[in-house]
Amino acid sequence: MSTERAPGPDRAAETGKAAETAQAVGTAAAPGGTARSLIDRIRRLDAVAALPSRYRLQVRAGLLEETLKLATYSAVTHLIIAAAVAYFFWTSAPQAYLLGLLAWVAVVIVAATYLTWRYLRTYASAVSPAGVLWGCRISGGLALALGLAWATMPVVLFAPADGDERLIIVATAAGLISDAYVVGPLLSVSYLFAIPVILGSFVGLARCGEPVALSIGFLLVVYALFVVVSVGRMSRLSRQRILDRVRVEEQSETIGLLLNEFEAHASDWLWETDATGQFQHVSTRMAEVLGCPVAVLQHSAFEALLAGRGEASRDTVHEADHSAELLDHLRQGRAFHEHLVAFPTPAGQRWLRLSGKPFLDQRRSFAGFRGVGSDVTQSREAEAHIAYLATRDALTGLSNRVMFHEVASEACAAAVSEVQGAPVSLLYLDLDGFKTVNDSAGHATGDALLCQVGERLRVLLPADAQAFRLGGDEFAILHRGGDPAAEALAEAAIGALCAPYLIDGVRAEIGVSIGIACAPGDAAAPADLLRKADLALYSAKEAGKGRWQRFDRNLERRVQRWRELDEAMRAGLENGEMELHYQPLVSLQDGQVVGCEALLRWTRAGHGAVSPAEMIPIAESTGFVITIGRWALRQACAEALTWPAQMRVAVNISSIHFRLPDFFADVEAVLAETGLAPERLEIEITESIFLANTPHVLDNLRALRALGVRIALDDFGTGYSSLSYLTQFPVDKIKIDRAFVRDLSSRPECLTVIEAIMVIARDLRIDVTVEGVETEQQAALLRSRRCNSAQGFLYSPARPPGEVASLVERIPRTALLADQAVRAVA
């Protein structure tokens, strides 16, 4: 038993191997030593004996096989080098020696080639200890013979050679030493060849006796040590790799046993076919699932079995069945993974999940398929049920949003198809008043109401239409038809859904608004179709609800315009494109300017002025109006500081601000920052603020008035005006809308309304300002009714801040002259 250490990367092992190599060479040189004993001693360097006994033979055989694979190429190389040496030194060296060297190398090369061929032919297919031992000894003997032959070259040729020839000898010796890498898997063979060449090189250098030989000798030592160490490392790596391969093969046998155990007790089964596709292995479990005896399956071809099943059930095969693809994989020898196959059996249709991959024989030729199969019938049935539930709305039983996108995709594809070209209309429904019912009667009542809505839609729909619940109180109808049919269906849906509902004795009434879009006219994709129907729905709600609206391009252009302005106004406020202009408020009694109303103006760079009537609704819908309002409040207060002390500044504030709990604090902070007296600030609000009567609205109004800020109710007399607002909410001024002033001279009832408002305002101690005064006659009528102040083009349109001072001086004089002219005419 050998006591060598197992292979490892440490230097001690390398040193031990070098020492053992020197000892082996010395033994060979000693009297009575034989080449065979030398080879056997050096063969211990392969360290195979340190491996577990069950692996030694396979590892040594693997090392030998890898060494012999390059033997032929190495032999040809050595023969060429020997011929080259004879040619280069023919005139300067003993010709007998050169011919002898060439002949000896040729004989060794021929012997090596023949013996390599014989080993691979005789022993490689069936590994045996005797064959491997013979191969190792023969390889070592030939390597030693070749190494000894080349070792003579520097001994004979180096000393008498000139400078150029010595360069050739050194290069040739270095190249020969590096040949140890070629036979590196068997470390003993490498050393048996390389060490004689190294020793011969040292002898040749010693015979030279020149100073340069010492330098070359030193370099040779470094190079030789590097080769010895690196070849040893390569040998260890090869040995470990082959050992791993042997272990894997052993583990494969173990895995085979485990698979047999698995097959005997698991619900899955293994299958195997030969190169012709006939079953080579059929388990009992597989036969049970297929409802066919094992003996019958054992003599059946897998491909024929699947093909026959396909022909027998061509009309009943499910779309999830992948038998056609699986057949293609079998015929083309490609692996497949978890392919579903619907297989009819005496017990009914079974779903099988099959996986397989081709395997090769030792000649690397296709040998058949191996795979695993399982019966997934129960899971498939469960998945089908889950898939059904996944496409249905749990509350109404209608198809849900997932199903909508699937059906809409198919319908849109058919609509744009040149073959079919069938248009499809989308009706997008949103219930009006559902939130009120849901909040007042409870969610249970709301759910019951949605169920009844779904039932009414089912009854209403024609055969070529399908209803969906998209979420909340939103529904959709896909109708295979053009505009007239879709519009008729929309009318019918409005009539059906607007009828009263009776839920647990509670009567509920709702409405519905509908947007209609058509493919391919309006859109070709489901997402675009839904978006455009949504635009039409929004338009229907804007127009008063309880109606349908057809999509048109103007709706889309308006949305694009809104998006463009929404993005641009944010940059515009940052870039200073927005500013405040001021329209004077003039006392009707003495013509003095008592204040100015701040009006927002936006001159968009490269596009010109943008109307506040277009900009403000966009800002309110996005919430950006809060930022604009804070900026306008601060700007107006700062600019009002330059006016006469008796003048007020009026700022329009959106109702959204008053719903913020900290709006009062914002105003207080602006007044403190600018230094404007609170009584000089007048905040204008509209009656819409009272529609959302939240606690914050009333708290902000009271806090502002307590601070001294005046509150003005703008556009009084229009919209949601109610006289109760004047008693319920604290206001200091009301502004009569310009609609009453415009027809003041032609419609006496307008003057009567203004007189009535004045009577109420005087009794409540509320100031009155009339908007839209354009003529002196209108001003005179209003003055005679004791209106407090007026604003309009008669005095001035809104002007930039720099012109306020000139307006304050000009307007009183103009008003005085106009009043005198009117009195003169009277």
Going by their DSSP bridges, the two strands 279-282 and 348-360 should be labelled as: unpaired
Long-range contacts of 103-108 (CB under 8 A, 24+ apart): 104/145, 104/149, 105/78, 105/79, 105/146, 105/149, 105/150, 106/79, 106/82, 108/78, 108/142, 108/145, 108/146, 108/149
Q: Which phi and psi angles does 795 have, rounded to 5°?
A: -95, -50
Which of 221, 247, 273 is the last residue before a domain boundary?
A: 247
List the one residue out of 315, 336, 316 whose CA is nearest residue 327: 336
Question: What pLDDT was estimated at residue 651?
Answer: 95
pLDDT at 23 over 50: no
Given a contact cutoff of 8 angstroms between Cβ atoms, the answer to whether 432 and 473 are in contact is no
In this prediction, residue 370 carries a pLDDT of: 86
One domain, residues 646 and 679: yes
pLDDT at 287 exceeding the cut of 90: no
What is the four-CA torsion angle of 636, 638, 640, 643, rounded to 10 degrees?
Answer: -150
Residue 283 shares a structural domain with residue 204: no
As a whole number, the mean pLDDT across the chain is 80
- Residue 467: its pLDDT value, please? 94
User: What's 499's domain CATH number?
Assistant: 3.30.70.270
For residues 632-651, average pLDDT:
94
**Cis amide bond preceding 9, omega within 30:** no
Q: Which has the higher per-residue pLDDT, 229 or 70? A: 229
Say if CB 423 and CB 481 are below 8 A apart: yes
pLDDT of 25 reads: 37
pLDDT, position 12 = 37
Q: Is the predicted pLDDT of residue 675 greater than 90, yes or no?
A: yes
pLDDT tens-digit readout, 349-364? 778 888 889 988 877 8
Mapping DSSP to helix (H, G, I), strand (E, B) and coil, where does residue 588 land? coil
- Lowest mean pLDDT: which of 249-258, 314-323, 542-551, 667-676? 314-323
- Greatest mean pLDDT among 59-63, 561-565, 630-634, 700-704 lies in 630-634
Domain that holds residue 211: 14-29+55-247
Residue 585 pLDDT greater than 90, yes or no: yes
Mean pLDDT of the 273-293 span: 79
Cα separation, 27 vs 719, in Å, equals 120
pLDDT over 50 at 252, yes or no: yes
Q: What is the pLDDT of residue 466?
A: 93
Within a domain: 388:
no
Q: Give the start-end residues of each E strand in 285-335.
A: none
pLDDT over 70 at 7, yes or no:
no
Does 641 have pLDDT greater than 70? yes
Lowest mean pLDDT of 142-151, 520-529, 632-641, 699-708, name the range.
142-151
CA–CA distance, 789 with 359 (Å, rounded to integer): 100
Q: In CATH, what number is assigned to the domain containing residue 272?
A: 3.30.450.20
Q: Are residues 774 and 664 in the same domain?
A: yes
Whether pLDDT at 39 is above 70: no
Q: Mean pLDDT highest for which of 151-160, 296-305, 587-596?
A: 587-596
- Mean pLDDT calculated for residue range 376-400: 83
Residue 721's contacts (CB-CB under 8 Å, 6 or more residues apart) are 687
pLDDT at residue 531 above 70?
yes
Q: How many domains are contained in the chain?
A: 4
User: Which range among 56-65, 366-375, 452-461, 495-504 shows the weakest confidence by mean pLDDT?
Assistant: 56-65
CA distance 190 to 228: 9
pLDDT exceeds 80 at position 268: no
Average pLDDT in the 550-561 region? 82
Q: Are 817 and 593 in contact (CB under 8 A)?
A: no
Q: How many CA atoms lie within 13 A of 91 on its CB side?
A: 3
Which pLDDT score, from 0 to 100, does residue 804 have? 92
Looking up tokens 């619907």, which residue turns up?
342
In a domain, residue 505? The reply is yes
pLDDT at residue 422 in the model = 77
Q: Quick one: pLDDT at residue 817?
A: 64
Residues 154, 24 share a domain: yes
Together in a domain, 224 and 285: no
Sheet harboring 424-432: ordered strands across?
A: 465-471, 474-479, 424-432, 511-519, 548-550
Residue 433 burial class via C-beta count within 10 angstroms: exposed 0-12, middle 13-18, buried 19 and up: middle
Domain assignment present for 75: yes
297 falls within a domain? yes
Asked if residue 267 has pLDDT above 70, the reply is no
Which residues are 392's β-sheet partners? 399
pLDDT of residue 171: 85
Q: Say whether pLDDT at 125 is over 70.
A: no
> What secondary structure does DSSP assign to 534-573, as a single string?
HHHHHHHHHTTSSSEEE--HHHHHHHHHHHHHHHHHHHHH
Report the pLDDT averaged over residues 315-325.
65
Instruction: Work out the average pLDDT over 302-313.
Output: 61
Query: Are residues 767 and 682 both part of a single domain?
Result: yes
Q: State residue 196 phi and psi, 5-degree precision.
A: -60, -40
Is the pLDDT confidence value at 571 over 60?
Answer: yes
User: Do 377 and 399 share a domain, yes or no?
Assistant: no
Pairing of strands 578-587, 593-604: antiparallel
Q: Quick one: 460 and 534 in the same domain?
A: yes
Q: Are residues 149 and 18 in the same domain?
A: yes
Distance (Å) of CA 722 to CA 728, 737, 738: 10, 14, 18
Question: In the predicted model, is pLDDT for residue 644 greater than 90?
Answer: yes
- Confidence check: pLDDT of 17 > 70: no
Quick: pLDDT tens for 536-552. Answer: 998 888 888 889 999 88
Locate all alpha helices (DSSP H) within 7-70, ordered by sequence.
11-29, 35-43, 53-69
Residue 8 lies in a domain: no
Higher pLDDT, 320 or 175: 175
Residue 2 confidence (pLDDT) above 70: no
Same domain? 309 vs 442: no
Does one domain contain both 376 and 422?
A: no
Q: How many other C-beta atoms are found inside a 10 Å radius of the C-beta of residue 600? A: 22
Phi, psi of 756 (to 5 degrees): -65, -40
Q: For residue 714, is it within any domain?
A: yes
Q: Which phi-psi region, left, alpha or beta, contains residue 708 (left: φ > 0; alpha: ψ -120 to 50)?
A: left
Query: Does residue 18 carry a pLDDT above 70?
Result: no
Encode pLDDT of 700-756 as tens digits: 888 999 999 999 988 776 655 556 667 777 788 988 888 888 877 777 788 888 888
Examine the domain organization and report whether 474 and 413 are in the same domain: yes
Q: What is the mean pLDDT of residues 306-335?
A: 68
In a domain, 569, yes or no: no
Backbone angles phi, psi at 633, to 5 degrees: -65, -45
How would residue 405 be classed by pLDDT, with cut points 50, 70 and 90? very high
Task: Decide if 273 is inside a domain.
Answer: yes
> Is a pLDDT exceeding 50 seen at residue 603?
yes
